[in-house]
Amino acid sequence: MESLKKPHWTSSTNSFVAKISGDFVLQIEQRLDKEGLTHAALAALLNVTESSVSQKMNQPPNFKLSTIVEYARALGLKVSIVAYDDGDPNNERGPINSEIFYECWKRAGSPADFFDLPNFKVPIDPVIEQAVNEGHQMGDWPLTKLAATGNI
């Protein structure tokens, strides 16, 4: 059953931010649990007060990007910002949990760049492809063809 109650609660910018901040804080809380760390320990790593950390964990604020990076890096994590099109331009279903992207990334073998992506092929310039198909060596190529590839 898919019951759409419109609008989604994240329809305002503030509530959308609250949702993605909540997703981030959940990831931080999970990392703390995994490492056996408390809010106090994280505060010590960040050189801030425990109450500052607890406040952010219990009431996720409108984080500054730099704060997000500091919290993640303190726990040995990295952060990416992902914009995506999930076929829901009016946000009737709300944002995708950031952990879903993380899980997909891990299941794809934790690719470090585009070359590591499954079935990724380096796009070949059609001019070069034609030349290769015609059996030309690079040294044989006329300057006009090389110029067309952007390689000179």
Footprint of another protein (CB under 8 A) = 1-5, 7-11, 14-15, 18-19, 21-23, 26, 29-30, 33, 58-60, 92-94, 97, 99-100
Q: Shortest distance, CB of residue 5 to another protein, whole angstroms?
A: 5
Q: Shortest distance, CB of residue 86 to another protein, whole angstroms?
A: 12
Query: Closer to another protein at the Cβ: 43 or 148?
Result: 43
CA-to-CA separations, 127 to 44, 48, 122, 143, in angstroms, rounded: 58, 58, 15, 12
Query: Closer to another protein at the Cβ: 7 or 109?
Result: 7
Cβ count near 111 (within 10 Å): 13
Q: Shortest distance, CB of residue 26 to another protein, whole angstroms?
A: 6
Q: Shortest distance, CB of residue 114 to another protein, whole angstroms?
A: 28
Query: Closer to another protein at the Cβ: 2 or 134?
Result: 2
Ramachandran class of 119: left when φ > 0, alpha when ψ lies in -120 to 50, beta otherwise? left
d(CA 46, CA 31): 15
115: Cβ–Cβ under 8 A, 6 or more apart, which residues?
122
Query: Closer to another protein at the Cβ: 4 or 81?
Result: 4
Q: Which has the closest alpha carbon to 78: 40, 110, 121, 39?
A: 110
